[in-house]
Chains A and B, each alone.
Chain A
Amino acid sequence: MDERQPFRSAVLLLVWSWLLLLVLLPNLLVIAASFATRDPQDFLSLPVTLESYQRLINPLYLGVFTHSLYMAAMTTLLCLLIGYPFAWALSRVDKRWQTLLMILLIVPFWTNSLVRTYAIKLLLASNGLINNLLQSVGLIDAPITMLYTEGAVIAGLVYLLLPFMILPLYTVFEDLRDDLLQASHDLGAGRMATFVRVVIPLTLPGVIAGVLLVLLPAMGMFYVADVLGGAKNLLVGNVIKNQFLDARDWPFGAAASVLLTVAMAVLILAYGLSRRRIGQETVE
C-alpha cells in the first residue's frame, strides 16, 4: 500500500486530532490542575503544590471518602454475590434462550439510569409502593423509612450496576469447559475442592473485570446519592461535583478525579495479570 495515500492520511489525521484534543490533552490538564493552587477566578494558578492531595486526607473529607468507599464496596460485594451464581446459571441455559436472555440483560445499558433510579425511589418512598403493600397486608402499622438511607443508595447502585458485573462473569463461564470440571472430579476432588481450585481461579479475570466495571462507577454516580441518599450519604462523585461546579475549587476536584483514575489503572493492571496467569497455566 502506498504510504502517501491521501485518504489514509486524512483518516489518521482526523482520528488522531480528535483523541489528542479531547482525550489526552484534557486528562493531562486535570493532572496539572490537581497540582495547582486554588483560585476561584482562574482555572489554574501557580505555585505548584501538593495541597489538594493533602486536603483529600483531611478528616472532613476523609469521612466522606471512607463512607463512599464503604457504600461502593458493599455494592460491589452484593453485585458479585448475586451476579456470580446468576452468570453461571445463565451460561448453562439452553442456547435457544440465551440470545433473548442476553438482550434482556443489556437493556439497562440502553435505558436511562436516572429514570431507573427514580423508579427505585417510587418503590422505596415512605408513601411508595413497598410501604403501601406492607401496610395493606398488615405486616407494618407505620411506614418504614427506607428512602434517604445508606441502604437506599446501595440498593440503587446494585440495581443499576448488576448487569455490568454479570456480563464479564458470563463471558468467563462461557469459556469454562465442562471437561475441566470432569477432570477435577476424576482426579478425586470433591465439589468444594473443584470450586475453590478450578472454578474460582479460571473465573477470576471475570471477577476482576466486573469489580472494575462496578466499583468505580459506584463511587462516581452522584445522582444516585442525590435522589436516594439525602444529604448524609454522599459519594466521591458528589464531592467532586460540588468542588468543581459549586465551590469552584478545581485543584481539589481534579485531585479526587486523579485518585479515581489511579484506582482504575490498578484494577486494569490486576485484570491483565490475572489473565496472563491463566494463559500460562493452560499452556504448560
Chain B
Amino acid sequence: MSRWLPRIYLMLVYALLYVPILVLIIYSFNDSRTGYRWGGWSLRWYQALFDNHAMVQAMWNSLWLALAAATVSTVIGGLTALALHRYQFRGKQALRGMLFVVMMSPEIVLAISLLAMFLVVGLQLGFVSLLLAHVTFCLPFVVITVMARLSGLDERLLEAARDLGAGEFTTVRTILVPVMMPALLAGWLLAFTLSLDDVVVSTFVSGPSYEILPLRIYSMVRVGLKPEVNALGSLLLVFSLAMLVLSQFILMRNKR
C-alpha cells in the first residue's frame, strides 16, 4: 500500500500536466465548427491554417527569427562558456552574475529593459530588435548547457596540445569545439524552441513590420475559442516535443 500510494500520486499529477495537451491535439482534428461538440475526424482546420496567407507569412517570420536567434546565441553563448571555463579575467564573477540575473528575471522585467534601450538608441522595432532580445534571453541557457559539458573535460588533452605547440585558436578549434559540439547542438535546439515560443518579450519589442506567430496566436486566443488555434497549437506542441527528444538524444548519446 505505502509503496503504491506515491506512484499513484505521481501518475495523477502527470495526468494533470498532460491531459490538457492531449485534449487540444484531439480537438484539433474535430470537424465541428463550434469547436466543443465532437463532429467527427477531419483535417479541415489544418487546411484552413495553410490557406491563410497572413498566417503562413507569420510562420515563416517566426522560423527565420528562431533560426537566427538560435545561431547567434549559440555562437556567443558557446564563446561565453569557453571564456568562463578557460580564462581568468577581471569581472568574471560579475559576468556570471549578469547571466544569472537574466535567467532569473521575470520575462516582463527583461522585456521592459530591452524596450527602454531600443527607444533610447532610436532602433526601429522589427526583426533586428526581436533578434537582439531573443538572443539575450536565450544566452544563459546556452551557456549553462555548454558549461556542463566543459566541466567534464579531461584537462590533459589541453596540456598535450600546448606541449605540441598549438596556439590558443588552434586548441579551441581542434579540441574544445569538438568536445563542446553535442552541447552546442542541444543549446541551439533549446534556443530555437525558446525563441519560437516567446510571447512576453516579443509583445514589447516587435513592430508592425514583422509579425510573428506567437503574437498572432495571442491576438486570436484573447477572445473565445477558435478551432484554427487548436490546429496551430498542436503543430507547435508536436514540433517542440520533437526538438526536446532530439536534444536529449544528442546529449545522451555523447555522454561518454
Binding site for B on A (CB under 8 A): 1-2, 5, 7-8, 11-12, 14-16, 18-19, 21-27, 29-30, 33, 43-44, 82, 85-86, 88-90, 92-93, 101, 103-108, 110-123, 125, 127-129, 132, 159, 162-163, 212-213, 216-217, 219-223, 226-227, 237, 240-241, 244-245, 250, 253-254, 257, 260-261, 264, 268
Contacts and interface: CB of A to CB of B under 8 A. Distances in A.
Given A108-B17, A112-B237, A227-B222, A219 B203 contact: no
A113 B243 contact: no
Interface residues of B, number: 78
Interface of B: 6-7, 9-10, 13-14, 16-18, 20-21, 23-24, 27, 34, 36-37, 76, 79-80, 82-83, 87, 89, 91, 95, 98-99, 101-102, 104-109, 112-117, 119-120, 132-133, 135-136, 139, 167-169, 172, 190, 193, 196-197, 199-200, 203-204, 214, 217-218, 221-222, 225, 229-230, 232-233, 236-237, 240-241, 243-244, 248
Given A12-B83, A106-B244, A241-B203, A43 B193 contact: no
Given A5-B168, A132-B36, A241-B108, A30 B83 contact: no
B105 A222 contact: no
Contacts of A19: 95, 98-99
A3 B80 CA distance: 18
From DSSP, what is the main secondary structure of chain B's interface residues? helix
B236 A254 contact: no
A121 B104 contact: no
A250 B109 CA distance: 13
21 contacts: A1-B87, A7-B167, A7-B172, A8-B87, A8-B168, A15-B95, A21-B117, A29-B116, A44-B120, A89-B7, A106-B244, A110-B193, A113-B197, A114-B199, A116-B21, A118-B233, A125-B36, A129-B36, A132-B37, A220-B200, A260-B108
A118 B227 CA distance: 11
